[in-house]
Structure 1
Amino acid sequence: MCGISVVVKLNRTAPDHVAAAGEVAQSSTDSAAKLELEKRLYASLEQIAHRGPDAQGVWVDPTSKVGLGHCRLSINDLTPDGSQPLHDDTGHVHAVINGEIYDHARLRDDCIREAGYAFRGHSDSEVAVALYRRYGAPEFLRHLRGEFSLVLYDDRTGEVVAAKDRFGIKPLFWTISKAGGGDSSDAAAEHELWVAAEMKAFLPLGWKAEWDVEAIALDTWSLGSNTTFKGVKRVEPGYYMKVLPDGTIKHEQYWEFDYPDKKQVETRSMEQMIQQVREKAIEAVRLRLVADVPVGIYLSGGLDSSAVAGITKHLVEERGESMGSQKPTDRIACFCVKFGTDMGFDESEIAQRTADHLGVQMHTIDMTEADFARHFEDTVWHNEQVTCDLNTVGKWALSKLPRDLGFKVILSGEGADEVFAGYHWFLGDFLLEADHSQPQDPLQQDPKLREALHEQVRDHVRNKDRNLGTTTTTLRTLNGEDGENGDGNAEEGFVPYLVSFGMSDVDMLHSSLRPLCAERARLRAVADSWSAEARANIRDRWHPLHSSMYSWNKKQLPAMILTVVGDRCEMAHSIEGRPPFLDHHLVELVNGMPPSVKERYQPPPQGNSNENGDVNVGFGLQSGKSAWWRSDNNGKDDGNLTVFSQFWEKWILREAARPFITDELYRRRKHPYTAPVTWPRDGPLQQMLQRLLTQENVDAVGFLDWPAVAASLEAGFAGERPEDKADPTALRRCLLAAGYVVIAQRFRVATAVVG
């Protein structure tokens, strides 16, 4: 993992000739311009030095038209040969790369054997340059396996290529500005393209941050290439950007999510599919154990991280695999965050039982209310965006723990819910339509049962989200082309692009913006962000569960999950996070499997329960029901727990991981990583929010409604009397507003003009 900052002058003329390696044309060299560009790039890298504290490097081409900057977190090849910017073996291709390329030893051997490429060192990043030389763009990207963002300059053609991995694990932003900063609309000025791993790297280059109020109001800032800032874009997952010498910029897609035709009958047996997933998961973990530094694991009380830990133990102890640079006798190190058992959201006890079972070493960090308050602002600064859940603060603090103990690489369970349908709201779309790929499945043979179960699930999800202070909107998916009346023709579903834990809260926006926030306009914007091919697949080809997963994975996965509990919190402490479940070989395999192996229907035998009322659901006794599957109805089930007990989320992952996890984890329901939402009045959190959310600060943002924010500050915290309950929705609204205040202050964002 590393940081990159790049400056490219636009409207460059095509090179008159291909220079020999190292040739400097004195007539075109401007030493002052070169030194100035180097100075700007080093200043930019300082803003993101946390991404790469081990080394910095800058390269500027002889014409001072292209400058590449890189700060390095040394993971593979710790020698100077692994430093960047990188140059190919002819000296004509120059690159800066952030992330990790897996299976690089095989790729290296192929490039040497088939193309005669002469490598300088042994870093994984150098393989990307060799593959570009061999295949060109975009074909070289299809050979890269891992998480990455990169910028490459080919001085033979004058073209610049910027690309991001398939899922958006590694960030990459770009903007166009007048040289040295200023108004990019000035046609007479020389314009520059800036590309960086984090937007804060633009500040020393002369960037003046400005809110994109419409994107914030419509909640489109997390869609496609959008951000919360005007003129700042992100390279989309699975895309590459090509910049031609004349300044033309092209965006093209090299990878996309795909799912099978819903009418196609599955011919593989359950056993075959389980074994396929198991083999691919083991392979994905094995590849991510390779490093020249120690490797650890984030371990929670859930299935996903426990599966990673169990597979790792299997690989190290039974197959003799090395875990980074650790000795074979070293115990596997795991890391967990503890929220406190009285908060109702803590999983550290289950994680410890898993660690004890596996015989691994557990390191735990305790998060108190004061810790959440103390780290909130730094977390927002590193995330560069708002979120309404304090889980991001917990992850920020957790990521400091392994670094303090000498670890640079950590495996995590991120992405499993997105790949295997782990979220509760996916069940609604699963039940919308029969799974025709599994015609012998009892649920598919009984439409009335499926429809009745769907009604129960819909009500349960609405109630549960209300109690957590979030919203699930049941809506028309807009997956068909609108008719003349604009009503659309899609059936109703839970398509979850508005679940999002409050990505944008209409009620806290300035009153003049609320007409922009009509539900239909927001939904239309989401559907319009999909390609025509994807809309056709949603309309005609994919099962509703897969359509729902596609929608979530195009928005929430890259813009939220992989940002606020992924890369940005990890890299804040110079930690490289590796998510094996987002190995694209594994993802493509699972995407091609039926909906019914992701959400599995297995009704409980009639009357089969124990004295505590725990239901036997066919997998053994479901003990210790998670709070996630209950309402806040005085501690009683909300009447719909029964329907959820008949389904097992991530069923095929559960089966594939069974040899590597405890019986407790095999049976345990999904509990998403979220922080507590109920806090006392006048405690550290409310005091922190009161300090940030003054009328002066709120008005300085420009698009927030002060009365709504002030009311939320009062309602979001619990008083001493039983009737003074905390309103989780109000707390989440406060966190969003406070996040905007922090960004406004630290990025020096101009006050938005609205009304």
Structure 2
Amino acid sequence: MCGIAGYIHLNPSRPIDPQTLVAMAAIQHHRGPDGFGYQLIDKQGVGFSHARLSIIDLEANRGRQPFTSEDGRLLLTTNGEFYDYKRLRADSISRGARFRTKSDSELVLHLYPRLGLRGMLPHLRGEFAFALYDQERDRLMLIRDRFGIKPLYWTQVNDTLVFGSEIKALFAHPEVPRCFSPQGLFHQLMQTMVPGSTAFEGIQQVKPGHVVMVERKQGNFQIREEKYWDLDFPRLSERSDSLPEEHHIEGVRAQLTEAVQLRLEADVPVGCYLSGGIDSCIALGLSAAIQQAPVKAFTIGFDDVDYDETPIAQEMARATGADQDIIHLKADHLYDHFAETLWHTERTIYNTLGVAKLLMSRHVHQTQYKVVVTGEGSDELFGGYPSFRRDMILHGLETLSAQERVQWERGLAESNQLFRGAMLAENETHNPALDALVGFTPSCLQPWLHAAEHVPALLSVPLREQVESYDPGQAIAEHLDGDMLANRHPLDKAQYVWIKTMLEGQILTWGGDRVDMANSMEARPPFLDHHLAEFATGLPPAMRIKGQKEKYVLREAMRGLLPNVLYEREKFAFMAPPAHTDPKKWAAMNQLAQKYLTEEAITHTGLLDAQGVKALFALHEAEGTPLSTKVRLDAVINHLLGVQILHQHFIATDIPALARQRAQELGWHI
């Protein structure tokens, strides 16, 4: 895992500044503290840079990027891992390829000339983002993995296109303006973002499973997005439940075992994140079985018994003989690191779980581990979230009596009471655009569409006027692929929408890559292996959610691996305790508010409305406000803090100057 960056001028004769490339690498040195490199092509107006975290091929200079092909035609900089690379490497060598390193990244330089882009991408398995420049075609390609595990941003400013692993790398380029988008700010305050967007004007993401093609033709950049992969659930007419359960169970077992085995490949030790959920427990259990040795397991413990999963995680650690390392976190301590976390997430966060994971990755790094296997993606593929079960109840095609539906709904509400207001909406919320596209408003979006009702009153008057007729649900709907939703089962639709919004925009960013790589720590999620995902799309809905049991097929596939308490355990969302649950944490949050949400601070940034902020706090503290409403308002308050902190980090701070200073401090120079 690494940090990549670069830029291309419309005018090929305009020179690239090497010092800017170095600064773009230095501002994200946390992604790659083991070295840096840059490369430019004379008289082509193209330059790449790279900050390296050595996982495969540890020898310092041999794996150093950016790479160029032997004939000088190709320039490459990569972030991430390509699995199964040894087999692909051997195949390429048998065809006459000559490798200069042992790095998995070098594969691209050999597969692309032989297979072309479309032919190469199906062979790339893993989590990755890379930039490839083809001098012969004068084409820059920005490519992101299928689920968006690895980040990649880009912007066009004047006659230059700039890209990088993090937004701050783009801001390190002196020509890139730094300002919020009114619509982006709206989504920061409501949590759910429009796919492909950011909080900042003109800054876009390469969408998961997409390529951004950049060509210089007829005096202009010609930029187009091409999708190379999507999670394609079968249409209703294509579904069949004729296969026995054992076929699905064996298929999941085989695919997942292979996915874990591939992610244990590294030239450094590999540990596991371990919570009390079955997903991380399965990842640990399979890792231990494959390695036939104890695995280092890292667990977060909270000081609130309602949210602490340590006892269950300890049971799994004992069952596998893992070397468990528990980091105990106090709820009020999390706000001490809130601002630091947002420097890395580059977006607001609704729950301090992101802070907890930042502290966890720091602890992992301090124990000399660079790589962990994680459980992210399991709920997305196998129907693990309560919102999925709710959509299956309300919109499913299965025949249920009115009494059965009432019982399901009551059981769902009772078992997820702690998370009502975040994981589940307090009240039914509909959006016409989503209803029209999906057939219903997915339950996963409803809490945040409900939170969006607060947003206009929280924005400053000028910004409020700019989003007066803005419909956030419609904006999200317009960026979802209707072909992937048409004639699908309601459960498939619910999972697809979550994957395109909550997974990519939340779990894999401020809950994943950004807080892990903040401490130079690589997380590998085997559940998001695309071979496993493609098998999972074909599972009958009843194999994912069977009766009251979510992730049924996964539980059955791994039944012998899990202690009984875990096999039978219902999904419990892994979250940090919200601020209102602990007086000390509420006081810590208020202390932060006294810095960022005072009338003076709000007036200074010009983003928020002081009276609106004051009214929201009053509603939160009013006697009789339901706990579910407090959960929702806790999230909005975190976003308010986040917006102000993002302004301080990225608007008020001179990022190009800071990046040059970082380069000097690191001794990175041309």
Query: Does the aligned pair in 2 maintain the 1:433–1:543 contact within 8 Å?
Result: no
Q: Structure 1 residues 205, 494: CA separation in 2 closer, same or farther (over 3 Å shift)?
A: closer
Give 2:608's match in structure 1, choosing from 689, 694, 704: 704
> Residue 643 of structure 2: SS of its match in structure 1?
helix
Distance in 1, Cα, partners of 2:128 & 2:437: 39
Specify the code of the residue in structure 2 equivalent to 1:171. P
Query: Does the aligned pair in 1 maintain the 2:66–2:76 contact within 8 Å?
Result: yes
Q: Hey, what does 1:305 align to over in structure 2?
A: 280
Q: Structure 1 residues 514, 544: CA separation in 2 closer, same or farther (over 3 Å shift)?
A: farther
Query: Does the aligned pair in 1 maintain the 2:22–2:49 contact within 8 Å?
Result: yes
Query: Does the aligned pair in 2 maintain the 1:427–1:457 contact within 8 Å?
Result: no
Query: Does the aligned pair in 1 maintain the 2:423–2:447 contact within 8 Å?
Result: no
Specify the code of the residue in structure 2 equivalent to 1:48. Q
Q: Hey, what does 2:164 align to over in structure 1?
A: 196
Q: Structure 1 residues 102, 499: CA separation in 2 closer, same or farther (over 3 Å shift)?
A: farther
> Residue 248 of structure 1: SS of its match in structure 2?
strand
Q: Using the TM superposition, give the Cα deviation of residue 132 of structure 1 relative to its aligned residue in structure 2, in angstroms.
A: 1.2
Identical aligned residues as a percent: 33
Specify the code of the residue in structure 1 equivalent to 2:177. K
Q: Hey, what does 1:525 align to over in structure 2?
A: 475
Q: Hey, what does 1:675 align to over in structure 2?
A: 576
Q: Tell me if 1:499 matches 2:453.
A: no
> Residue 62 of structure 2: SS of its match in structure 1?
helix
Residues 686-745 of structure 1, C-alpha deviations (whole Å, 9 max, x = no match): 2123222222222333332212323445665799x9999993333322211111111100
Question: Which structure 2 residue ranges, 5 or more long, are not aligned?
Answer: 654-670
Q: Which deviates further from its counterpart, 454-463 or 564-573?
A: 454-463
Q: Tell me if 1:546 matches 2:492.
A: yes
Distance in 2, Cα, partners of 1:723 & 1:743: 30
Q: Using the TM superposition, give the Cα deviation of residue 376 of structure 1 relative to its aligned residue in structure 2, in angstroms.
A: 0.6
Q: Structure 1 residues 465, 236: CA separation in 2 closer, same or farther (over 3 Å shift)?
A: same
Give 1:226's match in structure 2, choosing from 197, 204, 227: 197
Residues 269-294 of structure 1, C-alpha deviations (whole Å, 9 max, x = no match): 11110010011110000000000011
Q: Which deviates further from its counterpart, 693-702 or 491-500?
A: 491-500
Q: Which has the higher helix share?
A: 2
Distance in 1, Cα, partners of 2:590 & 2:134: 53
Q: Using the TM superposition, give the Cα deviation of residue 494 of structure 1 relative to its aligned residue in structure 2, in angstroms.
A: 3.6
> Residue 195 of structure 1: SS of its match in structure 2?
strand
Specify the code of the residue in structure 1 equivalent to 2:4. I
Q: Hey, what does 2:663 align to over in structure 1?
A: none
Q: Using the TM superposition, give the Cα deviation of residue 600 of structure 1 relative to its aligned residue in structure 2, in angstroms.
A: 0.7
TM-score by length of 1: 0.79
Query: Does the aligned pair in 1 maintain the 2:31–2:520 contact within 8 Å?
Result: yes
Flag the structure with more relative contact order, 1 or 2, with Cα contacts below 8 A and sequence separation at least 6.
Answer: 2
> Residue 366 of structure 1: SS of its match in structure 2?
strand
Q: Hey, what does 1:441 align to over in structure 2?
A: none
Superposed counterparts of 1:147-296, under 5 Å:
147-178=127-158, 191-206=159-174, 207-217=176-186, 222-246=193-217, 247-263=221-237, 264-296=239-271
> Residue 79 of structure 2: SS of its match in structure 1?
strand
Give 1:578's match in structure 2, choosing from 524, 530, 534: 524
Q: Using the TM superposition, give the Cα deviation of residue 495 of structure 1 relative to its aligned residue in structure 2, in angstroms.
A: 4.1
Q: Structure 1 residues 38, 513: CA separation in 2 closer, same or farther (over 3 Å shift)?
A: closer
Q: Using the TM superposition, give the Cα deviation of residue 154 of structure 1 relative to its aligned residue in structure 2, in angstroms.
A: 1.0
Q: Structure 1 residues 128, 473: CA separation in 2 closer, same or farther (over 3 Å shift)?
A: farther
Q: Using the TM superposition, give the Cα deviation of residue 434 of structure 1 relative to its aligned residue in structure 2, in angstroms.
A: 4.9
Distance in 1, Cα, partners of 2:121 & 2:75: 16
Q: Which deviates further from its counterpart, 364-373 or 662-671?
A: 364-373
Q: Hey, what does 2:647 align to over in structure 1?
A: 744
Superposed counterparts of 1:256-655, under 5 Å:
256-263=230-237, 264-317=239-292, 331-340=294-303, 342-435=304-397, 444=398, 446-448=400-402, 451-453=405-407, 456=410, 465-466=419-420, 471=425, 474-476=428-430, 488=436, 491-492=439-440, 494-500=442-448, 505-506=454-455, 508-510=458-460, 521-535=471-485, 537=486, 541-601=487-547, 647-655=548-556
Q: Hey, what does 1:16 align to over in structure 2?
A: none
Q: Structure 1 residues 449, 279: CA separation in 2 closer, same or farther (over 3 Å shift)?
A: farther
Q: Using the TM superposition, give the Cα deviation of residue 353 of structure 1 relative to its aligned residue in structure 2, in angstroms.
A: 1.7
Superposed counterparts of 1:123-142, under 5 Å:
123-142=103-122
Residues 54-92 of structure 1, C-alpha deviations (whole Å, 9 max, x = no match): 010000101150000001000001122211001223331
Query: Does the aligned pair in 1 maintain the 2:11–2:45 contact within 8 Å?
Result: no
Distance in 2, Cα, partners of 1:470 & 1:702: 32
Q: Tell me if 1:61 matches 2:41.
A: yes
Query: Does the aligned pair in 2 maintain the 1:387–1:735 contact within 8 Å?
Result: yes
Q: Using the TM superposition, give the Cα deviation of residue 683 of structure 1 relative to its aligned residue in structure 2, in angstroms.
A: 3.1
Query: Does the aligned pair in 2 maintain the 1:277–1:656 contact within 8 Å?
Result: yes
Give 2:633's match in structure 1, choosing from 730, 739, 743: 730
Q: Hey, what does 1:625 align to over in structure 2?
A: none
Q: Using the TM superposition, give the Cα deviation of residue 670 of structure 1 relative to its aligned residue in structure 2, in angstroms.
A: 0.8
Q: Hey, what does 1:695 align to over in structure 2?
A: 599
Distance in 1, Cα, partners of 2:467 & 2:558: 43
Question: Which structure 1 residue ranges, 5 or more long, are not aligned?
Answer: 13-27, 179-190, 318-327, 436-443, 481-486, 602-646, 751-755
Distance in 2, Cα, partners of 1:724 & 1:697: 29
Q: Which deviates further from its counterpart, 80-89 or 736-745?
A: 80-89
Distance in 2, Cα, partners of 1:741 & 1:91: 46
Residues 362-398 of structure 1, C-alpha deviations (whole Å, 9 max, x = no match): 1111211342022111101100000111110001100
Query: Does the aligned pair in 2 maintain the 1:478–1:527 contact within 8 Å?
Result: no
Query: Does the aligned pair in 2 maintain the 1:387–1:502 contact within 8 Å?
Result: no
TM-score by length of 2: 0.89
> Residue 388 of structure 1: SS of its match in structure 2?
coil
Q: Using the TM superposition, give the Cα deviation of residue 746 of structure 1 relative to its aligned residue in structure 2, in angstroms.
A: 1.0
> Residue 98 of structure 2: SS of its match in structure 1?
coil
Q: Using the TM superposition, give the Cα deviation of residue 450 of structure 1 relative to its aligned residue in structure 2, in angstroms.
A: 5.4
Q: Structure 1 residues 459, 411: CA separation in 2 closer, same or farther (over 3 Å shift)?
A: closer
Query: Does the aligned pair in 1 maintain the 2:259–2:526 contact within 8 Å?
Result: yes
Q: Tell me if 1:90 matches 2:58.
A: no
Specify the code of the residue in structure 2 equivalent to 1:710. K
Q: CA RMSD of the aligned region, Å?
A: 3.0
